[in-house]
A and B are shown apart, each in its own frame.
Chain A
Amino acid sequence: MAILEVQNLRKSFGSTLVLDDISFTMEKGAVLSLIGSSGSGKTTLLRCLNFLEQPDSGIIRVNGETLLDAAAATASDFHRNLRLKRLHFGLVFQSFNLFPQYTALENVMLAEKLLAREQPDWKERKAARLQEIQAHAESLLADMGLKDRMNNYPHQLSGGQCQRVAIARALALNPDILCFDEPTSALDPELTGEVLRVIRSLASLHTTMIIVTHEMSFARDVADHIIFLDSGKICEEGTPEEVFGNPQQERTRQFLSNYAQQ
């Protein structure tokens, strides 16, 4: 069974149609890369999946559970259990959005701690749960190569380190699908490498990921499946070899050749 099914997703801002009839599926452990020029709708698609935007129509299903059926959904349906629906997805932002007043470790622990507090047995097990949560966060940060940086505040970290903390933070709640919104666009070129390495290692651990990126060689390298979005539509999709090696659409060729020239 597909881990994610998206059917006929549509979204417009005012009179501008941003997503036009988007449908795709994803298998567990797969890596999907969304490419396309600025304004093609890649980021909006990610934001819809994370319920930061409310789609006008369409269906989003995770593990067979329908999280959203926009045709049937009223505004109140959309907002009901929004918090829990969001937890199926993790999102890593272009600009990190770390909480500046918390250390790296606290950033990773915060959401899990707040969720644990809502459990009925929180009071009895408080000390033990906190220890578990901290151990979990520490191991995630260690996986990101940030063992020595756990007690640093975000302003004391480099951009690449910040983004790795953000990835650890998104992983802390064990989302079914981890989404990246141009994770290296805000970084100096020499810092992008460390972030891409982390994402690659996540891919080798079969983490289900959707990655919006402008790094074409990285997308080709890490993704199992490529979707090329143009003006809110899926223009072309396929394996990296198909899309990069033998693009069928004129628009895709044009887009890729612009990148090749750079």
Chain B
Amino acid sequence: MSFGEQLPIVFSALNTGFLQTMRLFLITLVGALPLGMLLAIGEMSRFRLLRTIIKTVVWIIRGSPLMIQLLIIFYFPGLVFNTPLWGSGESGRLAAASVAFIINYACYFCEIFRGGIQSIPVGQEEAGLVLGMKPTQIFFRVKLLQVIKAILPPISNEIITLVKDTSLARIIALQEIIWAGQAFMKGSRGISGVIWPLFFTGVYYLAFTGILTLLFGRLEKKLSFFR
């Protein structure tokens, strides 16, 4: 098969794979950002037990490889409890990968949120208090935008890492774009023993992270009206 004939087949396979990559990326963001916020609030709570539990969970999740977490979350229900939880087919694997990624990234986001909230000088809170503002008003009207500004660089860093980390899900055979590219090395859809599609997946990642970088740059610029 000539290179010209290979192109449309390879692109359609890579596009399908990239769609799966995107799904995992978006589901993770939508789940991990709010969960991370909840964890951060819990980590700053007055209840010591809650703080200790969250700190331990964050340590375990951040301290162990995401790849192991993927394997455990996907295989343990069937292997240890003899009940395959995730259902068959690609959707089950996507669900398991999403859960693993959401938990993992929520822990990273949690630490970023906590750091951001705690980086706001205590004087901001006190200035709000002496002006008769309620704690919720102080959080939303005074602190929130400052926190967002402070955490934007580390969060964008983490989100760009997430784009690339999605490729780890291939360990549980989620057919994301790298999996799709690798398939042509062995043989798929009439093309076998072809290496270039695997390396070409890099272009997809570059294009997407490029868009994200521009987006975050804009956001940072938008927030540069104050210091």
Direct contact of A and B (CB under 8 A): yes
Where the two chains meet, the residues of A that have a C-beta atom closer than 8 Å to any C-beta of B are: 50-52, 83-84, 86-87, 89-91, 93, 95, 97-102, 110-111, 114-115, 153-155, 169-170, 173
Contact check, B130 vs A50: say whether CB atoms are below 8 A apart: yes
Query: Which one of A52, A87, A98, A111 lies within 8 Å of B126 (CB-CB)?
Result: A52
Instruction: Tell me the minimal C-beta distance from B142 to chain A in angstroms.
Output: 5
Contact check, B226 vs A111: say whether CB atoms are below 8 A apart: no
Residues 126 to 144 of chain B near chain A (Cβ within 8 Å): 126-127, 129-134, 137, 141-142
Query: Which one of B123, B133, B134 lies within 8 Å of A93 (CB-CB)?
Result: B123
Where the two chains meet, the residues of B that have a C-beta atom closer than 8 Å to any C-beta of A are: 121, 123-124, 126-127, 129-134, 137, 141-142, 145-146, 149, 225-227
Closest residue of chain A to B126, judged by CB? A52
Query: For residue B146, which residues in chain A have a CB less than 8 angstroms away from its CB?
Result: 100-101
Query: For residue B131, which residues in chain A have a CB less than 8 angstroms away from its CB?
Result: 110-111, 169-170, 173
Q: Which of B123, B131, B141 has the most CB of A within 10 A?
A: B131
Instruction: Contacts A97-B121, A101-B145 given; indicate if A115 touches B132 (C-beta within 8 A).
Output: yes
Closest residue of chain A to B135, judged by CB? A83
A-B contact pairs, 11 of them (CB 8 A): A51-B129, A91-B126, A97-B127, A99-B142, A101-B145, A101-B225, A153-B226, A155-B226, A155-B227, A169-B131, A170-B130
Contact check, B132 vs A99: say whether CB atoms are below 8 A apart: no
Complex Cα gap A110–B133 (Å): 9
Contact check, A90 vs B226: say whether CB atoms are below 8 A apart: no
Query: Which one of A50, A97, A155 lies within 8 Å of B124 (CB-CB)?
Result: A97
Instruction: Tell me the minimal C-beta distance from A53 to chain B in angstroms.
Output: 11
Instruction: Contacts A100-B146, A100-B227, A153-B226 given; indicate if A86 touches B129 (C-beta within 8 A).
Output: yes
